[in-house]
Chains A and B, each alone.
Chain A
Amino acid sequence: MTAETRITLSRKDSRFSKSLNKYFSNLKGVVGFAILIVFVIMAVFAPLIAPYSPVEMTNEVLESPSLSHLFGTDHLGRDIFSRIVFGSRISLSVGFVAAGLSAIIGIFIGSFSGYFGGITDDVVSKVIDTFLMIPSFFLILIIVSIFGSNILYIMLIIGVTTWPTNARLMRGQALSIRERTFIMVARSTGESEMRILFGHVIPNGVFPVIANSALQMGGAILTEAALSFLGLGDPNLTSWGKLIFQGRPYMTFAPWTIVIPGVFVVLAVLAFSFIGDGLQHTFNPKTKEGE
């Protein structure tokens, strides 16, 4: 046997492009992503897309959908299509900010608790359980009625009340990852605990939390819509939920005032839920492309 060994490499697809292929091989993922893209374009280019100003009042009150007013007009003669387009900005940002906040809090607390274990873990787990026990919608109602219904508060509160599920997922991941050999290797090569936590434990365990966050974005949009429908939404901003609230008195003879915003809320929630499913499919090593 010779000491010299020639080694040839066959470069496989990178992990990222492989994941991308896997994600787009799933129909749900593709549909969800497509809907989301449409909504994001709508939100970013709202002034270019909307044919009318969302706040301009006209004499054409409660007109049914037609070519000049695609989705009809509301009780003050405002074009509902334009209001939907501008409303997407509010609804989507509620989804992103609230779920993002929830993910960040969840990842930090969960990974810390799972990785360091011991007493920290016992205490944090109990805190997570306590938070899961509180009916969050009623907590949100109470907080909104005390501090007022600024959209910022609403996003923060939704984020702060939904982190426990993320923390639980992340904790479970950290518990299993900390026993893996590469953590022992990292520790013995001299990497600090914090570096291991942020460099190895979180990047390796974050995938289920990302998938869950997509679901939570839909949930946050729904929660904000529900608050608005109850009249507790931000009075200065028009979200989709707010449109439903405003159309409520006229729904018997002008159903488009509530049906159309309702359909958009449902589509948004559906899109995020599909994306969540698609991501779960992508990150689950047991599924293969095309399944």
Chain B
Amino acid sequence: MGLLRILDVNINYRLKSKVVKAVRNFSLDVNEGDIIGIIGESGSGKSTLAHGLMRILPKNGNMEAAEIVLNGRDISKISDAEFDELRWVEMSIVFQKAMSVLSPVHKIFDQMYDTILAHRPETRKEEAKEKLLGLLSVVNLPSEILKMYPHELSGGMMQRIMICLSLIFNPRLVILDEVTTALDVITQGQLLDEIDRLVKEFGLTVMMITHDIGVVNELCTKIAILYAGELLELGNVKDVIFSPFSPYTKALVESHPDLNPHGSGLKGIPGTLPDLVNPPEGCVFYDRCIYREDRCMERKPDLVDFGKRKVKCLRAGEING
């Protein structure tokens, strides 16, 4: 039994006269213990998906789903009040902009205590403090931090605090939304090591949203490739990265310095994302694909199951090599 089962998610943003279809027909199964990396370029809908799952889309965003089953319960149709109760307790999220995630006028402890009180109103201050100190030591932060204000800390420390905050209620699923993007490479490396350790220590299931395929290669067990709001390829990390079936995955890997199988000569992917107001009838990657054929434009390919992986490409398997 999977921990999270997402079926047929569609997320739209209403603009003045247009509707941007940011995520279309997205389905994903997450098993207990998976560390699944969701990869995509800017505008591919990866953060939208995370925010949609947490129901924190902006007011003009709208999500529809056939079902979203978390811990055996369909949470796609429950009311906002019911959702408020399980959010952060059963699944939590760590945000991208570490420096601006906490209010500048309150001390770190007060804000973390507020979160505890929101779900466990009877918690006493001493209990909360004890719990937070335990969590802080897990991410190697000194206890004095609780008395400090957000502006006194660095980006790496703030991101660690956010990770603590996300673990307060021991949720089984944690979404990491580009947690390392705003950090320098060294801090990034330390943080990734710590996340790796936490995952084992707490038995977490992680959805890691990032545009850095190297990070996914290092940390994740599974990978989902998102392009222009559609899932193009899903499978085990090593399989997908080292023998991609989808031309987009192949292009993505070839544009990453450490993973480029040919050793030298980085390739970019020419072109830009298709218009999400009127998404193409056929394959979304058609415009930029070097393996395209006429039939790719006529009909949207299905997500075909290849046993160990799923790929959305008519020529899946042919292009590898």
Contacts and interface: CB of A to CB of B under 8 A. Distances in A.
B118 A188 contact: no
B157 A7 contact: yes
B134 interface: no
B250 interface: no
Contacts of A1: 189-190, 193
16 contacts: A3-B197, A7-B157, A9-B142, A9-B144, A11-B152, A12-B152, A181-B100, A181-B101, A185-B101, A186-B103, A186-B111, A189-B118, A190-B115, A190-B118, A191-B118, A204-B105
B103 to A, nearest CB: 5
A187 B114 CA distance: 11
Contact of B118 (A2, A9, A192): A192
Contacts of A2: 193
Contacts of A14: 149
Interface of A: 1-7, 9, 11-12, 14-15, 180-182, 184-192, 195, 199-200, 203-204
Contacts of A3: 190, 193-194, 196-197
B84 interface: yes
Contacts of B152: 11-12
A5 B140 contact: yes
B56 interface: yes
Contacts, number: 86
The binding surface of chain A is classed by DSSP as loop
Contacts of B193: 1-3
Nearest to A118: B59
Given A3-B190, A9-B142, A181-B95, 17 more contacts: A5-B194, A11-B148, A15-B151, A180-B100, A181-B101, A185-B101, A186-B111, A188-B54, A188-B88, A189-B92, A190-B85, A190-B119, A192-B118, A199-B106, A203-B103, A204-B104, A204-B105
Given A3-B194, A204-B103, A204-B104, A187 B142 contact: no
How many of chain B's residues touch chain A, expressed as a range? 35 or more
Contacts of B165: 189
B60 to A, nearest CB: 12
Nearest to B118: A190
A11 B54 CA distance: 35
Interface in B100-142: 100-106, 111, 114-115, 118-119, 140-142
A199 B114 contact: yes
B49 to A, nearest CB: 15
B220 interface: no
Contact of B102 (A5, A11, A182, A188): A182
Contacts of A11: 144, 148, 152
B199 interface: no
A184 B103 contact: no
A185 B95 contact: yes
A188 B87 contact: yes
B243 to A, nearest CB: 29
Give the residue among A9, A195, A203 with the most B Cβ atoms within 10 A.
A9
A191 B104 contact: no
A203 B102 CA distance: 13
B145 interface: yes
A191 B95 contact: no
Contact of B145 (A9, A15, A192, A199): A9
Given A7-B140, A15-B149, A190-B87, A185 B102 contact: yes
A188 B151 CA distance: 22
Nearest to B160: A7
